[in-house]
Structure 1
Amino acid sequence: MNIHKNARLTPRGRERIVRQIDGGQTPEAAARAAGVCPRTARKWFDRYRREGLPGLQDRSSRPHRLYRPTPQPIVEAVERLRRQRFTGKQIAAEVGVSPATVSRILKRLGLNRIAALEPALPIQRYERARPGEMIHIDIKKLGRFSRIGHRITGDRTRQSNQRSRGKGPGLEFVHVAIDDHSRVAFAKIMASEKKHCATAFLRAALAYYESLGIKVERVMTDNGACYKSIAFRRLCKRLGLKHVRTKPYTPKTNGKAERFIQTGLREWAYARAYKTSRDRRIELPRWLHRYNWHRPHVGIGDNVPISRLGLSEDNLLRLHT
C-alpha cells in the first residue's frame, strides 16, 4: 500500500482510535491524541461498527457510479478501431471524444499498448536428450573496481568523477557456458570479448566438460562479432563442433545461458560487498563449484546439475574437490 508521506492515520492508527473509543474514551479525546479532528474519529468508528477491522482499510476514491459514463457503442467503436491499429489521437478524431477518454478506455480494455493486439506466442521449452549434445555460450560485461561500489554504498559521485577524468578501472568480460541437458556450467573471466578470447574460452570450456566425461557436439551462441569471426568458425570446424547461432533479437533462444548469467549476477557478482574486483574474480571458481555440485536447479526437478551426468561413486569422489 502506498501511504501518503503526510498521512495522519494508517490502518493501524485507525484501529488504535476505534479501540480507544470502544474502550470508553470519547471521540474527541481519541482524535486529539491522534492529531485528527473528532469527525474523522467518528467516521472510522462508525465504519468499524458496521464492517469490523476490514472496514478500516483504504478504498479506491473512484465513485461507485459515474455521472456521465462513456456510452457502450463508443467503447465498442474505440476497441474496433484500436484492433485496426489506429493510434489514440486517430481514434479520438474518428469517434468524436477526447484523447484522454480514449486513453482511459484503452487502458480499461487492456489495449493501451500495441503489443497487446498480438497474441502472446506460446513458450517453447526444450531440452537436449544427453549431456554434451549442446552447450550454450554467452558473455557478460562487468565493471572493475578498486573499492566497494555504489551498489552497496549508494554513492555514485566518486565513480562519476573518475569516469569524467577518464580514470575508470575499465571492464572485464565473463564468458559463460552451460550444458543444455545437465545445466553443468563453466565460466571464466577474460580480458575482452574479441575473437581470440572467445576461442580461448571455448577451448577451456571443452577441456572442463571433457574432464567430467562430456563430449560436446554443438555450440549455441548469439550473433556477436567474436562468434561470427572466421577464427571461431575454423576452431569449431577443426574440433568437429556444429555451431548454431540464435535468431537476431531473440535472446530467449539462448535462454539457458541468459538465465545462468542472471543467477550468477545475483548469487556471485552482486551477492556481497567485495573490496575489489580481484576478490570477486577469486570467488568465481568457488561459486561455480556450489552451482554445479550443491545448488538445486528448478529446471531439472530440484536436482543438482552434476547428478545428471550419471557419474559413478568413484568418479564423483575423484572430481569433487
Structure 2
Amino acid sequence: MSHRNARLTVHGRRLLVERVLSGRPVAHVAAEMGISRATAHKWVRRWRTEGETGLLDRPSRPHTTPHRTPAHLEARVCRLRTGRKLGPARIGPILGLAPSTVHRILTRHHLHRLSFLDRPTGQLIRRYERARPGELVHIDVKKLGRIPDGGGWRIHGRAACPDRRRVTGFDYIHSAVDDHTRIAYSEVHTDEKAATCAAFLRRAAAFFATVGIPRIERVLSCPSSFELTDLIVTIAPLC
C-alpha cells in the first residue's frame, strides 16, 4: 500500500520508468505525472539499482531514534504498571517523565489498558490462539427467542398482547470460528439437534475450504450440541 500522500503507486512508478526508458526527457515525464524531477530521478535510479523491488514502498520509520526513552527506563515504567497498576499521571512524576511519554511507552508494550492485565498477577493477558488455520475450530449454538411481526408486548404494552403465554419459538444460531484466523461461519436454524449440528459442520468445513482452510483437524464444542457418533461421522471425511 502506498503512503497516504504519495503521488505515485507502484504501477505509476513502473509507468514512469517505462516512459523514461523509451527515450523521453525525465523533466517532461515528471511534469506529466505531477511530480518533481528529483522524485522522477529517484525512482529511475532505484529501478536501475534494485529492479522491480526498488519501486516498492519502504518503511518511513527512521533507522535510529536518538531521543527515544532508554530501554532500562521503559522497563521501570512497565514494572510500575504491572506491579502497582499505576497510570501515566502517577508513573510520570516518579520517574521524571511526562505523562504523555509514559502513555506512549505503555502503548508500545500493550500495557496502556488495565483490562489487558491479569489483576492479581499483573501479567499481560495474551490471546489464546492455535498455530495454524484449521488446527482447531470452535463451534457453539446461541438460542434466541423469536420476536413477533410488529414487535411484542415490550413495544405495544401488556394490554395489547393479552395472551403472553403463546410461545413464538426460538431460533438457533450455529457458529463455527477458526481459532487461528478468527474466520467465522454462521447459520440460523430452528433447532440444535445432532443431525442439524452435524450438517452445519459439513457446510462450515466446505466454507472454510473456500477461504484457504482445506482441513479441520479438531473441533471444540459444547457436548450437548453434538452426539458423539454424528460428530465422528462428520469429522472423518474432513481429516
**TM-score, normalization by structure 1:** 0.44
User: Aligned pair count?
Assistant: 180
Letter in 2 for 1:32: A
Match of 2:21 in 1: 22
SS in structure 1 of the partner of residue 73 of structure 2: helix
Q: Distance in 1 between matches of 2:147 and 2:52?
A: 50
Q: 2:46 is matched by which residue type in structure 1?
A: R
Unaligned runs of at least 5 residues, structure 2: 119-124, 130-135, 153-160, 178-183, 191-195, 206-215, 220-225, 232-239
Deviation at 1:121, TM superposition (A): 7.6
Alignment partner of 1:264 is 2:187 = yes
Amino acid at match of 1:89: A
1:126–1:12 distance in 2 versus 1, CA, 3 Å? closer
**Structure 1 residue matching 2:203: 3-state secondary structure:** coil
Match of 2:94 in 1: 94
Corresponding letter in the other structure for 1:139: L
In the other structure, the counterpart of 2:193 is none
Report if the CA contact (8 A) 1:88-1:102 is conserved.
Answer: yes
**Would the aligned equivalents of 2:144 and 2:170 in 1 still touch at CA under 8 Å?**
no
Which residue in 1 is equivalent to 2:167? 197
**Deviations along 1:153-183, whole A, 9 cap, x unmatched?**
xxxxxxxxxxxxxxxx448xxxxxxxxxxxx
Q: Counterpart of 1:197 in 2: which secondary structure? A: coil
Residue number in structure 1 paired with 2:103: 103
Which aligned pairs between 1:46-61 and structure 2 lie closer than 5 A? 46-61=45-60
What is the DSSP-based 3-state SS (H/G/I as helix, E as strand, rest coil) of the residue aligned with 2:101? helix
CA contact (8 A) 1:293 1:306 kept: no
Give the CA deviation at 1:309.
3.4
Measured in 1, the distance between the counterparts of 2:200 and 2:144 equals 19
1:295 — aligned with what?
A: 203
- Which AA in structure 2 matches 1:41? A
Partner of 1:40: 39
Q: Which amino acid aligns with 1:309?
A: D
User: Deviations for 1:187-215, whole angstroms, at most 9, x for unmatched residues?
Assistant: xxxx9xx88638x659xx9xxxxxxxxxx
After TM superposition, the score normalised by the length of structure 2 is 0.56
Structure 1: stretches of 5+ with no match in the other structure = 128-134, 145-168, 172-190, 206-255, 269-280, 282-287, 311-321
**Percentage of matched positions with identical amino acids:** 27
Which residue is equivalent to 1:112?
112
Shift of 1:33: 1.8
Structure 1 CA distance for aligned equivalents of residues 128 and 88 of structure 2: 29
Counterparts of 1:100-179 in structure 2 under 5 Å?
Answer: 100-118=100-118, 119-120=125-126, 138-139=143-144, 169-170=150-151
Aligned residue for 2:230?
309
Distance in 2 of aligned mates of 1:126 and 1:26:
59
